[in-house]
């Protein structure tokens, strides 16, 4: 059967392949809705207010400028006393108080840091272990030259 089927397909006349018309999806003409009327430049129908120096922004700017100039004109000189400075000085602590407090805090900080350094650098005492501790008891205490022999009479070796 497969042989007959293969012979039938080879003997059957073939249809001419019709050309496939492909649409150009990537072209600029594929989406017409994006090309409404760019070249005609559709005009905006919004009515904008007239721009001039009499608008609210420039009015506020002029008032702020006049206020700043008046402030500098009538503000007290740097050496004069004014009410604001007097009120602030009345409710604040004097500078000496803050100086004392700062020095006290500095000294406390130094103490804490010294303690932290002492504890951080602490090491156990070195232990000297001798192989033969009975050598301390050997030797005569007599006829020793001065300064050459250490007195170890009160040394007691630990038994570990």
pLDDT in tens, 85-97: 888 888 999 999 9
Q: What is the mean pLDDT of residues 26-31?
A: 55
pLDDT (mean) for 12-32: 56
CB neighbour list of residue 152: distance below 8 Å, 6 or more residues apart: 136
- pTM (2 decimals)? 0.30
Tokens coding 45: 């129908």
Give the percent of the chain with pLDDT over 70: 72
Confidence band, pLDDT 50/70/90 cuts, at residue 12: low
């Amino acid at each position: 059967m497969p042989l007959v089927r293969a012979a039938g397909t080879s003997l059957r006349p073939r249809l001419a392949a019709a050309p496939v018309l492909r649409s150009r999806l990537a072209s600029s003409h594929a989406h017409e809705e994006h090309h409404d009327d760019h070249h005609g430049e559709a005009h905006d129908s919004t009515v904008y207010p007239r721009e001039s120096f009499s608008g609210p922004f420039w009015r506020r700017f002029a008032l702020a400028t006049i206020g700043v100039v008046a402030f500098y004109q009538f503000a007290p000189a740097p050496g004069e006393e004014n009410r604001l400075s007097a009120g602030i000085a009345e409710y604040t602590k004097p500078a000496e108080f803050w100086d004392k407090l700062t020095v006290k805090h500095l000294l406390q900080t130094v103490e804490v840091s010294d303690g932290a350094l002492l504890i951080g650098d602490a090491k156990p005492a070195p232990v000297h272990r001798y192989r033969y501790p009975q050598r301390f008891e050997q030797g005569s205490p007599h006829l020793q030259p001065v300064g050459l022999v250490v007195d170890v009479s009160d040394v007691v070796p630990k038994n570990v």
